Structure 1
Amino acid sequence: MTFAELEARFIALEKHLARVAHERDQVRHERDEYRKLYELASLELERLRRRIFGQKAERVDPAQTQLALDMVLQMLVGLPAQTEQTSTPPNPAPGDTAPPAGGKPKPKQRKATPHGRQQLPEHLPVERIELLPAEALGEMASQLVRIGEEVSETLEWRPASLVRVQIVRPKFAVKGEPERGVFTAPAPQAPIARCMAGPGLLAYVLLCKYGDHLPLHRQEQIFARFGLALARSTLCGWVAACAELLGYIVEAMSNDALSSPWIAIDATGVLVQAKEKCRRGYFWVLVAGDDHVLFRYTPRHTQDGPKRFLQGYKGYVIADAHSVYEQLYRTEDVTEVGCWAHCRRRFFEALSSDKARAHAALGFIGQLYAIDAELKKKQLPPAQRTTERRRLATPVLDAFRAWLDVESLVILPKSPIGQAIGYARNQWTPLTRFLEDGRLRLDNNGAELQLRREAVGRKNWLFVGSDEGAEWNAIVVSLIASCELHGIEPWAYLRDVLILLPDWRRDRLLELSPKYWKQTLEHTDARQRLASSVWSRAFEARPP
């Protein structure tokens, strides 16, 4: 074989080896990609199984969390001494049970429940039924002496009562002087002009639809069982008119909410009926401190919604890290506050792929919640609570940030634990902003809990009929949710407000909001107006 042939054969072998190496690298790359897909599919399968078959609460074993956290703190030089005073406090995070200083979790103590038959409420009307023995009804009746009685109570149901209220206005004329005309009392102002429903019935329809999630077609069937034929179109007209009237109060609440020190905001989707197929709209909730709960609706999930809702607001906004709030943070004078519950959820979802690191992160977050729970028990003033929160939470945050920075160098960025660590590091400034004011919450769970009203309702009425119907929903649910926030019974509130609204001054609408309702009944003429209203008299009248 000549040298030229050897050289040609060597070049061919080199090309073959290069091709084999390329194919090997390609196969390795495909293997790694399939492995990633397998891990992602396993993770999604685990999430799906938990949603369908498992508990919704994100619970973890506190002993494992504490063990992982202790190992991390031992590796971080100098940090065990700094965090010693805040280690293993009670109630670390929602869904967890923290172990005491000894390391073993305390067994859950069952809440003591009273035994025996439940006492019936005293305010219920009493129907007394006497059962006499046969001897007391026969020939021996004159020989018997009553020496006592045995009383047993049973709770019974009567159908809800509807009553026809006849408002009679007698006409009078002066004898022999017909030119002086006819005298009659003015007609009482009704919430809806020329409507056959009184404020009590209107409030009942609103509360059933938006508080108890009974669609109007179900209410139509319920009224039919009571012997009253009410078309759902009639009920819909009542809802529309009441929502327009109550909207003035909600608007005043919205203006007052802009003075709150913090506002929590969140959104959820809803189907809107359309000709071809349902389209998607969005309900928003704004929890303004301890003052108001406001619901809003937008046809689309865009950045214009939050910007419009909070235009002119100067304060803290608690929200998740969704991009829909970017324009709000960029154009308005607000301060972003992150949500530790969202951060915690990412680490919880990473438990199936990296248990050790996920437990360590959950331990850090649990300590922050434990500190906050302990300070809430002390009921400190806001300024003192801010100082104590900084003193106790800063060492934990410093240790957590050091751990995040170290772990970010050794984990895969696109893995579940890598995404959780990346989220925490990217959102670190908003997440630690709760140190600036002791009144701030660590998470946005309050807004999410309020959104459950729409989520539960969505399972009953499936979709809203139109964008206008969604606006009615937002108005009435705002008042019902705010009533619950202030411990007010919503039906009585809606009934009384519908009585007062027609002739109430528009510059005093905020007095009718749930925030000021108890004060309004005590210090204004509202109580006198309600007492003198013909609708109140109709409510007080009991059927025989």
Structure 2
Amino acid sequence: MLYGMASAGTVAWVMYQKFCNGLPYYRQEKDWKQYGVEITRATMANWVIRNSEAFFLPMYEYFHRKLLERGFAMADETPLQVLHEPERRAQTKSYMWLFRSGEDGGPPIILYKYSETRAGDNAVDFLHGFKGYLMCDGYSGYNKVPDAKRTACWAHIRRYLTDAIPKGKALDYTQPSVQGMLYINQLFHLEDVIRSKYSSFDAIKKARLEKEKPVVEGFLSWLDQQNPTRGSRMDKAVTYIQNRRSYLSTYLEDGRCSFSNNLSENAIRPFTVGRKNWLFCDTPNGAQASAIVYTMVEMAKANGVNVYHYLTYLLEKLPDDRMSDDELELLAPWNETVKAEIERRANESNQSYVNCQGAPATEK
């Protein structure tokens, strides 16, 4: 039974509104009043915290186990404000981490994790048991993950060089930053062409080695020739790139390796957009619940199922920690039976909406 004496659909709607549409509880409270229903923001927060911990956490932990089995992973992190953390000031930064599967052809797995700090040990703990390629930004904390082979994000390399181009000098090829961008732009173009032309990972690897490796080598040779003014934006860019030099060519080793960390940044963006509306989490329990529900929401999106109906489905099935992995697999959003059921529910809802609106008038 759900906590809070509310239906699965009602609790799922509250979750959907906040974690998919970015609608804070206080605005939902006002919205409910428009329909003559008194549901306080505290009640809604309690529904989300208790039900996500009881019924979504088993799914979350199952997704986590499945991620650790994969050979390609990606990560990102962003600040979060939590007001009432023990022995910490309200203004102190906490963090929401994003871990996801890579571009290896398997079903996408996306997991959020709340932590009080940005310490690299958080990544070490979460990725304990993972062995494979890890795509992430330049944060050195990921270096602590023992069995992960780091790959560099070429999108971050490009951003640093873009920032180093003097204003109005984007077409001035005497500028070192512009010269560096020529290499980067060529790599991005080649990557797009190769990805669109080949579906086989072996073919992608072969094409990268043939077409992209010489460009990477040329870029590194260019990099060694740079001697920018100390403290300049170009100096900052060169330092950033040199510090990640050993990871720049790693993606060439396997066609399943990602060229950039854009997938992770896209996956964490819903949280950063929602944060602009609700600004902070009140308690660590609320932050943890946010991580769990955002995981369910983004897992539904990534696997192509309707978010609201998937949340409702889980709250009806009530997965718990006594279920085996085989049983939890039957509730995963990539499961074909689940996909068919969610699609059926979504179609029925759409048809009900059309029926309520009435048939469109016909011209005489």
Could you tell me how far 1:327 is from its partner in structure 2?
A: 1.9
Tell me the matched-pair count: 337
Residue 519 and residue 383 in structure 1: after superposition, are their counterparts in 2 closer, same or farther (change >3 A)? farther
Q: Is the 8 A contact 1:253 1:510 kept in 2?
A: no
Note if 1:280 corresponds to 2:96.
Answer: no
* From 8, 18, 23, the counterpart of 1:214: 23
Aligned equivalents of 1:247, 1:418: Cα separation in 2: 46
Instruction: Indicate the residue corresponding to 2:360 in structure 1.
Output: none
Q: TM-score, length-normalised on structure 2?
A: 0.85
Q: Does 2:231 correspond to 1:404?
A: no
Q: 2:42 aligns with which of 216, 233, 237?
A: 233
Q: What CA distance in whole angstroms lies between the structure 2 residues aligned with 1:501 and 1:415? A: 56
Q: State yes or no: 1:345 paired with 2:345.
A: no
Give me the whole-angstrom Cα distance separating, in 1, the residues matched to 2:50 and 2:226.
59
Counterpart in the other structure of 2:143: 326
Give the secondary structure class of the aligned counterpart of 1:515.
coil
In structure 2, distance between residues paired with 1:422 and 1:374: 30
1:514/1:520 Cα in 2 relative to 1: closer, same or farther (>3 Å)? closer
Q: Which moved more, 1:484-493 or 1:351-360?
A: 351-360
| 1:258 has 2:68 as partner | yes
In 2, distance between residues paired with 1:279 and 1:308? 22
Poorly superposed stretches of 4+, deviation over 3 Å: 274-278, 502-505, 519-522, 539-544
SS at 2:74 equivalent: strand
CA contact (8 A) 1:348 1:358 kept: yes
How much has 1:425 moved relative to structure 2? 2.8
* Contact in 2 for aligned 1:240/1:472 (Cα 8 Å): yes
Shift of 1:520: 4.1
Distance 1:478 1:219, change over 3 A: same
Q: 1:501 aligns with which of 302, 307, 318?
A: 318
After superposition, where does 1:170-319 map in structure 2 within 5 Å?
190-192=1-3, 195-244=4-53, 245-274=55-84, 277-289=90-102, 290-319=107-136
Normalised TM-score (structure 1): 0.58
Q: State how 1:9-28 maps to structure 2 within 5 Å.
A: none
- Contact (CA 8 Å) 2:56, 2:319: kept in 1 or not? no
Question: Conserved in 2, the CA contact under 8 Å of 1:292 and 1:515?
Answer: no
1:335 is aligned, of 149, 152, 158, to 149
Contact 2:69–2:130 (8 Å) recurs in 1: yes
| Secondary structure of 2:318 counterpart | helix
> 1:453 Cα shift?
1.4
1:42-72 deviations in whole A, cap 9, x for unaligned?
Answer: xxxxxxxxxxxxxxxxxxxxxxxxxxxxxxx
Q: Would you say the 8 A contact 1:273–1:464 is kept in 2?
A: yes
Q: Distance in 1 between matches of 2:203 and 2:274?
A: 41
Tell me which residue corresponds to 2:362.
none
Aligned to 2:234: 417
Q: Gapped runs of 5+ residues in structure 1?
A: 1-189
Question: Displacement of 1:401 after TM fit?
Answer: 1.5
Q: Which residue among 182, 186, 198 is the counterpart of 1:363?
A: 182
Residues 191, 502 of structure 1: 8 Å contact kept: no
Distance 1:346 1:491 in 2: 39
8 Å contact from structure 2 (residues 83, 91) kept in 1: yes
Matched-pair identity in %: 28
By relative contact order (CA 8 Å, sep 6+), the higher-ranking structure is 2
